[in-house]
A and B are shown apart, each in its own frame.
Chain A
């Protein structure tokens, strides 16, 4: 494998507390180190004026394969990740069949290898067929490559099953990823419950449906000593509950997605299915609380909840359109434009939430530029001004409300295991 040097970029690695202009060397698919290495490079990438950081990790992605290849495949989803500067994704188990067995996890790993784009880490189901009744063979799933567990959009309703899952996962040292939703309270819901839903006559999903489940699982994590990660936190109360759990010493982390800190339920006045997702867009107060949670570290992970749906499914009556929004190709520019530019987060703070922190939740040896680690690197042009154009997406789906948004910043090179997968450098 070739030796690559990324010359004179601003190298940021939150693990090492590194933020300096220097050269980064990669060799044999591993990180060699920074500064002078006393050897020659096969490939020289001029990174002056650019940011060089550990390859971005999106720990919340739906790749749809197997079962819903009309929406996305492992090949197209990982191609979208590469285009967005993402070198590793964790993919959710809500496929058909569900990722609830060792062989299902191995299929995902195999397809990812065939596609040859970014790293794919399967998230296994907590329960068989995600039905919430009996635990899946979690140990077998780990053997097959699973890095965490979740029943995703069909959250574990039974507190007893959740308790046992957390206890069992402690043995495996894996986190349970929580899509927090009390389904009885959101049945038939289309959007956030509030003034806008009442005005539009659309059935609402109250914030407490999310918050009750967050609180339950924090208490269960405390009881069992298990580790939980709250996916896509959308409410002010949810942020507050996670903060409370962390103060009590519970092993709980929280995640925010761009749409939840950029948009509010006012957008539903358009009746456009691209604004429909679960948890739904909330209010300006919730947006402010999520940004505050990102700033004070309560929410340590940024992720996309990339959820592709073919156009014929989204362009429907609003209460019949499926939930979900794609994000792999808009993730980085939206976070730069709306977290870095207004001064909410510094570059090292934001990058930690896209590299080191998700790597820690998943327990994977990525997300850092420490010598000897896999050479996953993202190069970012922090100044580039451009306009999001969904026609250019590598994803198979187009369900984004951000088409046409002017943004600043973009990944210009994506390197996975020492292979340059995408490069727009001179």
Chain B
């Protein structure tokens, strides 16, 4: 049933040795098809765990998982907390409001103090790119860091759940054409998706206004487009990125009205797309901007499935990092590079 191409589940490849498990999950850049596939395959095992009659698991029993969230979050934060609890872990929740951060304590100091209480996994959300990477240099080596979104850099678990959703709906990722629509410049979801989709053999089109698509993204082997109507008939999947009002400098497009006109997904555009096109959105969605309500809630939309699948994916990631050999290997992205 599943052809032997990267990105398609194959039981042999999912049997990974714990010694090559990821110690941290800082991003999807550079991860191989084999590792991505292993994570997606493992997520299949956790679908539905802890829901209804399906019992919780014990893989993380005795472990402490801390949510260190310096940016607002609904889905990701609750998803990580539930995922960890359904694996038997203790979960601590940190947010800067009402904490020592309000008294001026630095990010690193806060993390080190929480670590000193005995922590195994830190799930980090921060507005600064690289914040989780910097943390790995300051925490003791046995602590695992999972990036839950760092500025406009990466959001690996979001991209993994996008991949998982695509794979469950379409069976396979290789060979699909995936359109990422909207604000690529400020989107961590776009970056993580591009790295993983390319690794798994998908064709990626990024489509949005020229001010929101840096021309350098072409170097990642993606197709750049600025006319949504022209690419719609070719896309198997559309991922509708949110306009990042909070990360923008302003003046990058004339008005929301014009954005909606050029790039909003509405009923008329749906008729130009493939009938079975799969619609994803990382959420939170700006209803009426990137997507009209009838499309968001229509039959092609997998937006709520994504949230459900997110739990399984995050369980798989938590188990992955906790299985890794304790000796910490410094990820390539953290290694200092200099010219000579």
Contact = CB atoms under 8 A, between A and B. Distances in A.
Interface of A: 187-188, 194-195, 198-202, 262-264, 266-267, 269-272, 284, 287, 312, 315-320, 338, 401
Contacts of B128: 317-320
Contacts of A319: 127-129, 151
Contacts of B138: 315
B338 A317 contact: no
Given A188-B249, A263-B338, A270-B337, A198 B216 contact: yes
Contacts of B134: 271-272, 315, 317-318
Given A266-B337, A316-B107, A202 B129 contact: yes
Nearest to A404: B336
Contacts of B150: 201
A318 B130 contact: yes
Given A199-B191, A201-B153, A201-B188, A318 B337 contact: no
Specify which of A199, A284, A320 lies most central, judged by the most chain B CB atoms within 10 Å of its CB: A199
Nearest to B194: A199
Interface string B197-208: 000000000000
Contacts of B338: 262-263, 267, 401
B217 interface: yes
Interface residues of B, number: 36
A196 to B, nearest CB: 9
Nearest to B108: A315
Nearest to A262: B339
Given A267-B339, A316-B106, A318-B131, 4 more contacts: A270-B334, A270-B335, A318-B134, A319-B129
A319 B152 CA distance: 12
Interface string B95-114: 00000000000111000000
B339 to A, nearest CB: 6
A312 B336 contact: no
A318 B128 CA distance: 7
Given A188-B249, A199-B29, A201-B153, A317 B337 contact: no
Contact of A198 (B29, B106, B154, B214): B214
A269 B219 contact: no
Interface of B: 29, 106-108, 126-131, 133-134, 138, 150-154, 185-186, 188, 191, 214, 216-217, 219-220, 249, 333-340
Specify which of A187, A200, A318, A319 lies most central, judged by the most chain B CB atoms within 10 Å of its CB: A200
Q: Which applies to chain B's interface (DSSP): helix, strand, loop or mixed?
A: loop
A272 B336 contact: yes
Contacts of A284: 339
Nearest to A406: B340
A195 B337 contact: no
B78 to A, nearest CB: 24
A422 B201 CA distance: 63
B177 to A, nearest CB: 22
Contacts of A320: 128
A201 B154 contact: yes
Contacts of B186: 201
A271 B133 contact: yes
A201 B333 contact: no
Contacts of A269: 333, 337
B151 A267 contact: no
Contacts of A200: 129-130, 153
Contacts of A201: 129, 150-154, 186, 188, 191
21 contacts: A198-B217, A199-B220, A200-B129, A201-B154, A201-B188, A202-B129, A202-B151, A266-B337, A267-B337, A267-B339, A269-B333, A269-B337, A271-B131, A271-B133, A312-B106, A317-B107, A317-B128, A317-B134, A319-B127, A319-B129, A319-B151
A282 B134 CA distance: 22
A219 to B, nearest CB: 28
A271 B216 contact: no
Specify which of A198, A263, A272, A338 lies most central, judged by the most chain B CB atoms within 10 Å of its CB: A198
A123 to B, nearest CB: 30
Contacts of A318: 128-131, 134
A315 B217 CA distance: 30
Contacts of B29: 199
Given A198-B217, A201-B188, A287-B339, A271 B108 contact: no
B249 A316 contact: no
Specify which of A201, A315, A316 lies most central, judged by the most chain B CB atoms within 10 Å of its CB: A201
Contacts of A317: 107, 126, 128, 130-131, 134
